Amino acid sequence: MGIKTTYTHCRICEPQCGLVATVEDGRLIGVRGDPEHVNSEGFLCTKAAGAIEVAYDPDRVTRPMKRVGKPGEFEPVSWNDALEDIARRFTSTRSKWGADSLATFVGNPPAFSYATSMWLAGFQQTLGIRWRYGINSEDASARLVANALLYGSVAIAPKPDLWRTRHAILIGANPLVSHGSLVTEARFREALDSIVGRGGRVVVVDPRRTETARRYEHLFVKPGTDAFLLLGIIRTLVDEELVDMPFVDNHTQGFDALVDAIQPFNLEECAARSGVSAAEIQQLSRDFAAADSAVVYGRTGTCTQRFGTLTNILQDLVAILTGNIEREGGLLFGWAAVDLGSFARASGLDTYGKVRTRVNGHPDVYGMIPSTDLAVDIITPGRGQIKALALVGANPVISSAGGGPDLAHALEQLEVSFSLDLYINETNKHADYVLPVAHFYERDDVPLGPALNMLRPAIWATEAVIEPRGEARQEWEILNEIAQRMGHGGAYPIRPLHWLAKLGYQVKPRQMADLLLRTSKVGDRFGLRRSGISFRKLVRDHPHGKKLMDELPTGQLNQKLLTPDKKLPLSTPEMLGELVELGRHSDDRRYPFRLIGRRELLSHNTWMHNVPRLMPQGRCLTALVNSEDAQRLGLADGGEVEITSASGSVRVQATVSDEVGAGTVALPHGWGHSGGWNRANSAGGVNSNILASSDREDIERLAGMSILNGIPVSLAAV
């Protein structure tokens, strides 16, 4: 006992920052950034320490809880009783209605546990669960579908080579607050600074003058109109003959059809629709083409809009038409020791549209169907109606456009449901059971998923820092045991593990991860390569991580592309169809303002509002309203504003600020709590997704994305 220092890494968001943890008598008392860590080099944010307060939060669920009354009324039960009852009821529902009555819903946090990811996939396979809902329709599905249409697989994802590029357009991303997404780089800011340091430009296209926009160059864009801006850039490239024609001739097809398809979008219209002047569009286009290397990096701001997939495709086309792909400083397909993307492709898991939702027909994207369909799929009678649900680290009542009262109501119709979570939240308070899970400081990990997105390839593994609190167990153990109690060997992700289980050998996720590491490009091949790695060697010999490459490899275009002819298709039918829709679409004129989101440094989606450190006195939810608009509306700073969309209405405090342009209003998501987290409940605020629509005509057509940015709204002073 006494004071001990160990190494771990944060698992709240994508950089997975390396941490030095101090443990006193078995209690975690502090974390600081690990200055020697190969990737984060000492960087961390307040949330890593906030997570300690989550671990010891008196409101955390630390015993299995059984619903005994109204939503949110739970009583502790034994693990045995909970698991037995869940297994029995899942079995009975399955035999009564078939396997198509079972569903899972996975949120964001489980993505940062290798063990949960593996065993959840196993649970789904073992039980024959087809309906696999998830939160990617509020996040990245549009990006993944763009990957499928351009590169031949959802699992082939371009990353911006920020450390070497000379020009970066950041569109719909705010990495100085989000710390980067689909890019694992704790030193994101330094990477962007390095571009300016090399004499290049960083241009941030955003309807709000964000933290990132303030540090670099900012172009205001009208919410939801990025496709027009990008078309303007592409028009200029074509009209001014700035396209890299040798590259286009060698590596693409469909250029002429693309040129035809963009004819209806002239520069003046693109400027008028996007709010960026024609001169600025032209200059941006010329500078991009003239730069030695250049990238476009977009993230949730361009995914969660009406033309999300189209916008993601156009982003990449700007880079492709200038030859900025798979070359130094351009978009790169990345490299990881354990290439789970290749694994997914080889096993046929990189699906798009293999499963379609029962009522609305929305496609799965990389095995996940949109959150917005869950409620309708529960309440609509008929074959495949959902009767049993497993929620894994998810809070869609707040986080999804398909949430709110409709989903809350639908959840009450289920025959049986359980949730694996740290808290009773606004969603699982409707479940029959909430089962306590280990916090990330309470389990080992290896960032196999995030490694695919690293700009500086590295790998590390860490052990649990503290014991699970109370009766908490790891997700995989719980899923495994439910599968066993339902008469299966376990929740095994691959078939041979079921055979081994029959012989009495129960494989665990740790052994699977170790196998992947040891047989990887840098593995020890079980002793055949002495300098190679294993899970144990990473923990023991590389507490600050092991650097694998200084920078990403280039020149893999032909090797990586999975399109049939190994060419980049510049004008797929899907994209051409969306261009036609874009030209045709007009928003409802009764709602003249446009709502966008606003991620805050001290929030993490819906789940960190119970942390004292992150909720200082007086912190509350406010909407940013432009000063001209405020004046016209008679709205004072700090006054209450009513925001109304076709889907709903909320009242919230206004902050008058020219951070947003006229006509734009910015409201963070993830507030308006009524779960088992008392501080969060008393923080007030509203669920901004009440304003988002889950109607079929308001769902992005190619990827099933929710429209969370650019929502037409009206404002009124209260």
Ligand X SMILES: Nc1nc2c(c(=O)[nH]1)N[C@H]1C(S)=C(S)[C@@H](COP(=O)(O)OP(=O)(O)OC[C@H]3O[C@@H](n4cnc5c(=O)[nH]c(N)nc54)[C@H](O)[C@@H]3O)O[C@H]1N2
| Residues at the site binding ligand X, with contacts judged by CB under 6 A | 13, 107-110, 135, 138-139, 171-175, 177-179, 181, 205-208, 210, 221, 223-224, 226, 299-302, 305, 392-396, 399, 420-423, 425, 437, 440, 475, 596-597, 599, 601, 603-607, 669, 688-689, 708-710
User: What is the C-alpha separation between 416 and 88, in angstroms, rounded?
Assistant: 10
CB of 8 to ligand SF4, least distance (A): 11
Q: Hey, what are 234's tokens?
A: 């592409």
Question: Which CB, 324 or 610, lies closer to ligand X?
Answer: 610
Contacting residues for 19 by C-beta, under 8 A, at least 6 apart: 7, 8, 9, 10, 31, 32, 33, 34, 44, 48
User: What is the C-alpha separation between 465 and 410, in angstroms, rounded?
Assistant: 39
Size of the site for Mo ion (CB under 5 A): 1
Question: Which CB, 568 or 652, lies closer to ligand X?
Answer: 652
Cβ proximity of 465 and 28 under 8 Å:
yes
Residue 17 binds which entry of ligand X, Mo ion, ligand SF4, none, CB below 5-8 Å type-dependent: ligand SF4
Question: Which CB, 155 or 466, lies closer to ligand SF4?
Answer: 466
Residue 182 binds which entry of Mo ion, ligand SF4, ligand X, none, CB below 5-8 Å type-dependent: none
Residue 110 binds which entry of ligand X, ligand SF4, Mo ion, none, CB below 5-8 Å type-dependent: ligand X
Q: Can you list the alpha helix ranges (DSSP code H) found in 102-220?
A: 114-127, 141-151, 175-178, 188-197, 211-215
CB of 438 to ligand SF4, least distance (A): 17
Q: Hey, what are 408's tokens?
A: 């809350």
CB of 13 to Mo ion, least distance (A): 8
Q: What pairs with residue 325 in β-bridges?
A: 331
Question: Which CB, 206 or 432, lies closer to ligand X?
Answer: 206
Residue 15 binds which entry of ligand SF4, Mo ion, ligand X, none, CB below 5-8 Å type-dependent: ligand SF4
Residue 489 binds which entry of Mo ion, ligand X, ligand SF4, none, CB below 5-8 Å type-dependent: none
Cβ proximity of 373 and 698 under 8 Å:
no
Residue 16 binds which entry of ligand SF4, Mo ion, ligand X, none, CB below 5-8 Å type-dependent: ligand SF4
User: What is the C-alpha separation between 29 and 43, in angstroms, rounded?
Assistant: 19
Question: Which CB, 107 or 152, lies closer to Mo ion?
Answer: 107
Supply angle C-alpha 238, 239, 243, rounded to 5.
Answer: 30
CB of 146 to Mo ion, least distance (A): 17
Distances (CA, A) of 480 to 148, 218, 267, 477, 507: 32, 50, 57, 5, 11
Residue 417 binds which entry of ligand X, ligand SF4, Mo ion, none, CB below 5-8 Å type-dependent: none
Residue 232 binds which entry of Mo ion, ligand X, ligand SF4, none, CB below 5-8 Å type-dependent: none
Distances (CA, A) of 518 to 338, 522, 532, 534, 580: 9, 7, 7, 5, 50
Residue with tokens 């699982």: 428
CB of 648 to ligand X, least distance (A): 12
Question: Which CB, 188 or 352, lies closer to ligand SF4?
Answer: 188
Q: Can you list the alpha helix ranges (DSSP code H) found in 585-668?
A: 627-633
CB of 271 to Mo ion, least distance (A): 31
185 binds Mo ion per the rule CB under 5 A: no
Amino acid type, 347? S
Residue 173 binds which entry of Mo ion, ligand X, ligand SF4, none, CB below 5-8 Å type-dependent: ligand X
Piece of 52-60, 85-93, 138-146, 254-262 that binds Mo ion (CB under 5 A): 138-146
User: What is the C-alpha separation between 100 and 122, in angstroms, rounded?
Assistant: 16
User: What is the C-alpha separation between 460 and 437, in angstroms, rounded?
Assistant: 23
- The contact mask relative to Mo ion for 83-122 (x = CB under 5 A, - = no) is ----------------------------------------
Question: Which CB, 48 or 665, lies closer to ligand SF4?
Answer: 48
14 binds Mo ion per the rule CB under 5 A: no
Question: Which CB, 44 or 169, lies closer to ligand SF4?
Answer: 44
- Looking at beta carbons, which residue is closest to Mo ion? 139
- Looking at beta carbons, which residue is closest to ligand SF4? 10
Residue 44 binds which entry of ligand SF4, ligand X, Mo ion, none, CB below 5-8 Å type-dependent: ligand SF4
Question: Which CB, 139 or 316, lies closer to Mo ion?
Answer: 139
Cβ proximity of 410 and 375 under 8 Å:
yes
Question: Which CB, 377 or 475, lies closer to ligand X?
Answer: 475
Q: Which of 139, 316, 421, 629 binds Mo ion (CB under 5 A)?
A: 139
Q: Over the range 167-199, which residues count as b (16 or more CB within 10 Å of their CB) and which as e?
A: bbbbbbbbbbbbbbbbbbbbbbbebbebbeeee
User: What is the C-alpha separation between 515 and 520, in angstroms, rounded?
Assistant: 8
Question: Which CB, 16 or 274, lies closer to Mo ion?
Answer: 16
Piece of 75-83, 133-141, 222-230, 661-669 that binds Mo ion (CB under 5 A): 133-141
User: What is the C-alpha separation between 171 and 219, in angstroms, rounded?
Assistant: 10
User: What is the C-alpha separation between 381 and 152, in angstroms, rounded?
Assistant: 36
Residue 138 binds which entry of Mo ion, ligand SF4, ligand X, none, CB below 5-8 Å type-dependent: ligand X
Q: Can you list the alpha helix ranges (DSSP code H) found in 221-335?
A: 226-239, 245-251, 255-262, 267-274, 278-290, 300-303, 308-321
Q: Beta-strand (E) ranges in 385-484?
A: 388-392, 416-421, 433-436, 458-459
Cβ proximity of 535 and 523 under 8 Å:
no
Q: What pairs with residue 356 in β-bridges?
A: 363
CB of 656 to ligand X, least distance (A): 17
Q: Can you list the alpha helix ranges (DSSP code H) found in 396-530?
A: 396-399, 404-411, 448-451, 475-485, 495-502, 509-518
CB of 710 to Mo ion, least distance (A): 18
Question: Which CB, 111 or 389, lies closer to Mo ion?
Answer: 111
CB of 51 to ligand SF4, least distance (A): 7
Question: Which CB, 117 or 534, lies closer to ligand X?
Answer: 117
User: What is the C-alpha separation between 561 and 564, in angstroms, rounded?
Assistant: 9
Question: Which CB, 162 or 579, lies closer to ligand SF4?
Answer: 162
Supply angle C-alpha 62, 122, 157, rounded to 5.
Answer: 100
Q: Hey, what are 405's tokens?
A: 């009262």
Question: Which CB, 482 or 608, lies closer to ligand SF4?
Answer: 608
Amino acid type, 641? V
CB of 460 to ligand SF4, least distance (A): 13
CB of 39 to ligand X, least distance (A): 16
Residue 350 binds which entry of ligand X, ligand SF4, Mo ion, none, CB below 5-8 Å type-dependent: none
514-520, long-range: CB within 8 Å, 24+ apart, which pairs?
516/338, 516/448, 517/337, 517/338, 517/446, 517/459, 517/461, 520/337, 520/338
Q: Which residues are near ligand SF4 by CB under 6 A?
A: 10, 12-13, 15-17, 44-45, 47-48, 179
Contact set with Mo ion (CB under 5 A): 139
